[in-house]
Amino acid sequence: MTSIQLAQASNALVYASMFTLTLAMIFFAASFASGRRRPVAQSVPAAAAVEGSGGTAVLTRPPVTDEPPMEPGRRAANIGMSLTWLAFLLLLGGVILRGLWAGRAPWGNMYEFSITGALGVLAVFLGVSVKRDLRWLGLFVTIPTLLWLGLAVTVLYTEAAQLVPALKSYWLVIHVSAAIICFGGFTFAAATSALSLIRGRIERRQGTTDVTGWTSRMPSSERLQALTNRVVAFAFPLWTFAVVAGAIWAENAWGRYWGWDPKETWAFITWVIFAAYLHARSTAGWRGSRASWIALAGWVAFNINYFGVNIFANSLHSYSGM
């Protein structure tokens, strides 16, 4: 394929993934609108009297199946998950073709990092869904991912170009790939943190964890907080590695490990916030909504580090390509 064909194919796959994600979002929304998550108890037919041997009446019941009835919205959620897997594969193809077009790792500007970051969000969501039933979370993952991709193709898009000298290093693959996985993990944690705050408020208002309404389709606030903690506990060491790898790369590129450049500063702020979150989760009195707010603050800091520094700050790390 020629470079023009690779570019066209990459763009087509990115747009196809957005269209597929839109369909997935619609099915996830339909699943939420269909009713409660908890299945309705299966009714047992009344006993029937039959005449046994010797003219004795014997009460019999039909066999009871262990298979529960279909949950409301389950089929729509299943379709949404299938479409999300398809969107992930389409976006993966778009990212790979972008790299083939550019002749390098596809992380040289904000457009490329944005589409790969969206891929990281889907990868974390789908990876966790292999072990857990996350159909209730699909709507809250597809929406921000679509917004991220929409911003990438409408505002951040740029043609593939050669890397600036500072980016021509194998550390680009090591450092940025770790950051992409962290972005997926932190975004996942932000979604579950926000939902735990909403669910917790409804639980307090109704005075029970067995709530009614749209939040009944998701786990309790305590389980959401536990899920958030597990994902952050996975992503935080990777972010630590990304910060350290960035410092080693900085020494290789600029002759110093740390210079309190705006991106370095915000990377450190993000690290401190998520370290505070993990500490709060182990401290009595901070394990509930307070810790969830800290996780959300860490995600905001991560996005300030990405958008704010790349677009608005005068930084050695500003490679927006816009």
The domain limits of the chain are 1-36+71-162, 164-322
The share of the chain scoring above pLDDT 70, in percent, equals 82
Query: Quick check: 121 and 187 in contact, CB under 8 A?
Result: yes
Contact 61, 89 (CB under 8 A): no
Cross-strand partners of 58: 50
End-to-end CA distance of the chain: 27
User: By the 8 A CB rule, do 171 and 248 touch?
Assistant: yes
Q: Tell me what pLDDT residue 48 has.
A: 46
More confident residue, 87 or 1: 87
The correct answer on CATH 1.25.40 for the domain covering 1-36+71-162 is no
* Mean pLDDT over the full length of the chain: 84
What pLDDT sits at residue 109?
Answer: 85
Which of the residue ranges 137-151, 162-176, 275-289 would you say has the lowest mean pLDDT?
A: 162-176
**Residue 288 structure tokens:** 């509930």
Weakest-pLDDT range from 11-20, 63-72, 110-119, 168-177: 63-72
- The residue with greater pLDDT, 31 or 26, is 26
Strands 57-60 and 48-51: antiparallel
pLDDT tens for each residue of 126-152: 999 999 999 999 999 999 999 999 999
Reading the block at residue 168, the tokens are 């021509």
CA atoms within 13 A on the CB side of 162: 2
The confidence band for 69, taking pLDDT boundaries of 50, 70 and 90, is very low
- What average pLDDT does this structure show over 260-283? 91
